Structures are given as structure tokens and as C-alpha cells.
Chain A
């Protein structure tokens, strides 16, 4: 590994360790995932049944796969917009970050991705296990969905960390960013397909969703992994994800530079 990237790798590992420390929090998260999962099962299964067994390409088995994968990803895809970096701007600690020999953006994203990866084990796997063992769900039997799905998941997780970082930079100008964070939480969950899959949206609303980066965080990896879309469409979705990631990282970079110039830390 190039020496320049080594600090980010270490920060990634630190994120993994940090997340693994809070066992009880992980258990709590799992209880929440499962409870919401069963409520989603009740409503969405009833919707598929009321539509006569299939609805916009979903049957009971594939709807179940959507529900339990989306619940399993909740610990890894940041849909609440809360970040340590926003808090560091508010308290002025960010001045310390700027004096370090690493990019604050790279450091924050590396650490968050580490935490996200660590959460896949204790939160992702049990959620999917509930889906498979208790409810029953259909997963593809060919290799393609998994070959494209794993990188898609990696890009989705990184994109969510990069977006939340870019959001936090609003703090350079606003200081208190809770309002912005709440707006983000509401819109990102809805357009990422958290409670209702985007395929069920009416056309105009689905078009609105695809104009945002949010489906690339969660809906696209799930659509690819569950084999709901063709190989060609999967590759296209992955391409769109990469474009959003590049755009978000660039935006974060520009905002950090601009924010650094306006930053005023009080006290001392």
C-alpha cells in the first residue's frame, strides 16, 4: 500500500474497532431492526397479497428479501445524517483536524466506512438470518447478482459516508446544523427506499428519487443483490453509483476548502 494511504487504512481499522466495542448498542440496533422488519413484513406482504400475489415485479419472497436486506444495512448506511465531524465543527475541534497531516475528509470517511463494515457482521447478518429462517426469502441462485452486488454495496456505504461528510460541512457557515441534519434524515430515508421500495412509487415520484444520490446508497445495492434487475441494468446502476460517489467526494473537497477560509473558532 502506498505510504500516503496508510493513515486512512489505519483510521478505517480504528473505525472497525470503535464500532465493535459497543456490543450492547449493537444488540439494541438489532432489536430495532427486527421490530421494524416485522412491521414492514406485515404491511408490505399485505400490499403484495392485496395486489394478487405480485406487485411491480415483487412477490412475497423477493419483498421479504428487500425488507431484510434493507433492515440489515441500517447499521452500515447512514440515513440519519448524524456525524462526528459536524460536532467537531460546532465545538471548534475541527481546527485540530486541519492541523493534521491528513485530509479531514479522507479521515472522517475512512473512519465511518470502518464503522459501517464492522456493523455488517452483528447487524447485517442476523437481520438476513431472520429473513431466511423465520420469514423466508428468495435470493438469486446465479453468481452475477453477488459479483456485482458486493462492489455495489461497498460503493453505497462509502457514498453514504461521503454524503454525510459533505452535509456536515454546512456547519462552517451555519454552526448549528441540526435542522439540516433532520431534513437530510427525512429525505434520504424516503428516497433510499427505506420503508417502501422505490419500484412501488408512482412514476413522477420515482423519477424524483432517481434524481438524487439516495437510491445509490441503499436501493441499488439491494436491487442488484436480490437479482430483481437484469445484469445489464445492474451494471448501469453500479455505474450511476460510482458517478454519484465521485461527485459527492468532489463536492466535499470544495466545501472543505471554502469552509476552511470562513472558519472562526471562538475561545482558546
Chain B
């Protein structure tokens, strides 16, 4: 890897390297590294696409058996699924590497990150970028596009802005979930499944019709981990449908606030974790 880093760092020869040069060098080397096992890279891409596709199929099968669920038809749910899955895949592509925190912690790899003069979180994120997840984002994007064209949506400026703000906020929420989960790993060490319940459970929840949820689920995935308010509720608003109990559609405009809440929680947890860490030995 040292060799592959050299050319990127040399580009600034003669001048002091900019602050971003190191990140750029690492990222481009990670991208090249992923493509070096070619057969694996292509099966990775195919697998990633298939994940999104099958998750959509699982939703479709339910609607194949009944016409409407919780007040939504399959056309309607395509919109919810599209927003949620697109946001989740983009978040996974950029922040997905935080998922490997348990390995970093157990193997003591994290100690190296502490020694470098850059924030640990930024180093963990840039130590890999999951290109294969682009394939999955395509499924989300496709579902969103079909959902937007098949449904009767009144295209005002307000609705267009709402859609854009929703996608950005939802991506921020799913990214923050990964950072939060990474922060919790400092305390759990070997309990990744505990946070998976909310990170991946959250993705599953975000693509659902939240009106069928029990009250505890509405609290957990409606507000604490704001999944329903960043996909289902804005979709209802775009479709001009009324919201169920606890999830009124005016909340659709509050998605940035929920994203801020989730990032606040994520950064707080991450900082606590960083302070708690005692080193992996060795």
C-alpha cells in the first residue's frame, strides 16, 4: 500500500501538501484496492444490487397478497422504499466502514488512528469507501423514480424542495446511525449485533408502512431513531395522504431537525467512546 500512496502524495512536490491531500491519497488507494480482485469486485457489485432488489421483492410479495397495507398501495410504498433505500445506501457507501469498529477495537488497529494528527472518525471513514454500494443505491434511485412517476403528485416548488430536503436529511440520519453504532462499540467491544438491531433494523423500519406499527415501535423508529419521519411521513405529504396517529404529515418539514438530533446523539456517543478507549494492547 505504501507504494500506491506515493504518487498521490508526490503530486504536491515542492509545495506543502494541503490538508486534504492525505485523505485524497488514502481514498484513491482504497478505490484501486477494491478493484484489484476483479472477480470479487464484480460479484460484490452484483451482490450489492441483489440486496436492494430482494429487499424490494420482499415488500412486493406482501402487496402481491393484499391490495393495500396500512392505507398505502404498492405504488405508494415505492416512494417510501425509494427514499429510505437510496438514503441508506449512500450513507453505507460513505460511512459503512464504521461498521468494522469491533474488528478495529479487538485487533488494536484503532491505536494507529490515535497516533495520526487527524480526527479518528474522519480516518475511519476514509479508510474505505464502499464502491459496490453504488449498485444498491441504483435500486433505491430506480424505485424512487418509478414511485414519483406512477403516483399523482402535485409538483409545486414546496413539494420539490421537500423531496430534496428529505433525501438529504434521511441520508444524514442513516449516516449518523452508523457513527452512533461505531461509538457504542467502544463500550460493547463484541456486541455489534446489539447496534445492528437499530442500524439495519432501522433500514428495514424506514421502508415500512409505519401506520401498522405498535406504539413502542412508533416511539423507537418514529422518533428516537427517526426512520418513519424521514421517509414514510414525507412520502405521505407528497402523496397528499393524511398521517396516522402520532405521525402527522406536518412533521415532514421537520426532517432536518431530526437529522440534527441524530447527529448530535451520534457525535456525543462517539466522543464518549473515544475518551473511554484504553487501547487494544500490543
* A contacts, CB < 8 Å to B: 22, 24-25, 27-29, 31-32, 34-36, 38-39, 41-47, 50-51, 55-56, 174-180, 182-183, 185-187, 190, 195-196, 200-202, 205
Asked if residues A28 and B188 are in contact (CB atoms below 8 Å), the reply is yes
- A185–B66 alpha-carbon span in the complex (Å): 28
Closest to A180 in B: B43
Chain A residues, CB < 8 A from B256: none
Chain A residues, CB < 8 A from B46: 179, 183
- A187–B61 alpha-carbon span in the complex (Å): 15
The reply on B277 being an interface residue by CB < 8 A is no
- A24–B201 alpha-carbon span in the complex (Å): 19
Q: Which of B65, B204, B214, B216 is within 8 Å of A36, CB to CB? A: B204
Asked if residues B62 and A182 are in contact (CB atoms below 8 Å), the reply is no
- A34–B204 alpha-carbon span in the complex (Å): 14
Asked if residues A31 and B212 are in contact (CB atoms below 8 Å), the reply is no
Interface residue total, chain B, C-beta cutoff 8 A: 46
Asked if residues B69 and A50 are in contact (CB atoms below 8 Å), the reply is yes
Min CB gap B69→A, angstroms: 5
Q: Which of B37, B196, B213 is within 8 Å of A175, CB to CB? A: B37
- A38–B43 alpha-carbon span in the complex (Å): 33
- A28–B185 alpha-carbon span in the complex (Å): 11
List 6 A-B pairs, minimum CB-CB distance, nearest first. Answer: A179-B43, A28-B194, A182-B47, A28-B193, A32-B197, A46-B212
Min CB gap A234→B, angstroms: 24
Q: Which of A36, A190, A205 is within 8 Å of B201, CB to CB? A: A36
Given contacts A32-B201, A42-B213, contact A27 B194 (CB under 8 A): yes
Min CB gap A171→B, angstroms: 10
8 Å CB contacts to A: which residues of B36-77? 37, 39-44, 46-48, 50-51, 54, 57-58, 61-62, 64-70
8 Å CB contacts to A: which residues of B213-235? 213-214, 216-217, 221
Chain B residues, CB < 8 A from A200: 61-62, 64-65
What are 21 sample pairs from A and B whose C-beta atoms fall under 8 A apart?
A24-B191, A31-B193, A31-B197, A32-B196, A32-B197, A34-B197, A35-B201, A38-B216, A38-B217, A39-B204, A46-B70, A46-B212, A47-B62, A47-B69, A50-B69, A55-B65, A174-B40, A176-B37, A179-B40, A187-B54, A195-B58
Closest to A173 in B: B39
Asked if residues A46 and B61 are in contact (CB atoms below 8 Å), the reply is no
Given contacts A36-B201, A39-B204, A186-B50, contact A174 B61 (CB under 8 A): no
- A31–B200 alpha-carbon span in the complex (Å): 12
The reply on B209 being an interface residue by CB < 8 A is yes
The reply on B126 being an interface residue by CB < 8 A is no
Given contacts A182-B43, A186-B51, contact A43 B209 (CB under 8 A): yes
- A200–B59 alpha-carbon span in the complex (Å): 11
Closest to B49 in A: A186
The reply on B89 being an interface residue by CB < 8 A is no
B24-37 vs A, Cβ < 8 Å mask (1 yes, 0 no):
00000000000001
- A56–B66 alpha-carbon span in the complex (Å): 11
Closest to B62 in A: A47
Closest to B216 in A: A38
Chain B residues, CB < 8 A from A183: 43, 46-47, 50
Looking at B46, B48, B188, B212, the one whose CB has the most chain A CB atoms below 10 A away is B212
Asked if residues B214 and A42 are in contact (CB atoms below 8 Å), the reply is yes
Asked if residues A35 and B61 are in contact (CB atoms below 8 Å), the reply is no
Min CB gap A67→B, angstroms: 13
Asked if residues A178 and B40 are in contact (CB atoms below 8 Å), the reply is yes
Asked if residues B197 and A187 are in contact (CB atoms below 8 Å), the reply is no
Asked if residues A196 and B193 are in contact (CB atoms below 8 Å), the reply is no
Min CB gap B196→A, angstroms: 5
B158-192 vs A, Cβ < 8 Å mask (1 yes, 0 no):
00000000000000000000000000000011111
